[in-house]
Each structure stands twice: as structure tokens, then as C-alpha cells.
Amino acid sequence: MERLRSQAGRVTRSRRGVLEALARLRRPSTPRQIVDAVTEGSCDLATVYRSMALFEHLGLVRRIDLGDGLARFEIADNDPDGHHHHHLVCRRCERIVQLDDCILADMESRLSRHYGFQEITHRLEFFGVCPDCQRVRTRAAGSKEGRDRKLRGA
């Protein structure tokens, strides 16, 4: 909150509520999810969008793109070296796992030396099917096979 106060001037109740909701969610969240998580008073979608734009500009939040057309936001890492993390996303239930390891920092350094670029960044997200969704799919496949056998009279 001090960083917000020093850089933006005012910490309104709405801004505080939006930032606290995002911190409680502890995962990349859509503006709608943030609105639903705000506990103090009411907060509308427009307030969340304006707050996210300000927080992103101030470096307090980071926008995450998972390729589905929805903007998601999460609290920015406070690492002074600028280290970040990636995500592993379930394609079925949209569960998001934060991955703390990033093996691409060395590649950024090599690209900088080789091509002369500075301030290189990257984005990388992984997608798959989580264990819970795999179990559901396996049970559903087993049920279908049983029904098919029953219909065939086997």
C-alpha cells in the first residue's frame, strides 16, 4: 500500500479492496473474479479495470495471457532482480499452478550478447491436463465402455 500511496498519491477504499482481493486469490485472476472476491463494499467491473491499468503501470500487478482472450492479473513479484515465474494451466478445468523455476534467464543473456538487445523479457506458459481431470476422464471412459458392453449384450 505504501508503494501505491507514494506513486499514485491516493489509496482509495476501492483500490485497497481490489489489491487485497487479488492477493487473497493468489492466482492469475480475471477482472470478474476480482470483483467477486472484493469483500469491503461494492466494486464494479469498471473500477477493477481502472485499478488494474494503474497497478500494471506502477508495476504492482502483471497481466497474464493464457491465450483464451481473457486478461488475467496477479500480484507482481517483488524480486529486485526482476525474476519472474511461469504457469502450468489445465486445459480442462483451468487450474493454474505457479512454476517458480525459469531456465530462460541464461538464454536472455546469450541473446543480449549475440544480438545486442537490452532489457530482454519473455513469456512462457505450459498447458496440459491436471491429475484430477485425468481421473475424471478415465472414470468417464470406463463408464462408457461398461455401457457399450451392456448394450452389446456382452
User: CB-based burial of residue 18 (10 Å sphere; 0-12 exposed, 13-18 middle, 19+ buried)?
Assistant: buried
**Percent of the residues in the chain that have a pLDDT greater than 70, as a whole number:** 80
User: CB-based burial of residue 19 (10 Å sphere; 0-12 exposed, 13-18 middle, 19+ buried)?
Assistant: buried
The tens digit of pLDDT for each residue in 35-91 reads 999 987 678 999 999 999 999 988 889 998 888 899 999 998 655 455 678 899 999
- CATH-assigned architecture of domain 79-154: 2-Layer Sandwich (3.30)
Q: Is the pTM of this model over 0.85?
A: no
Domain boundaries, the chain: 1-76, 79-154
The CATH code of domain 1-76 reads: 1.10.10.10
DSSP state of 59: T
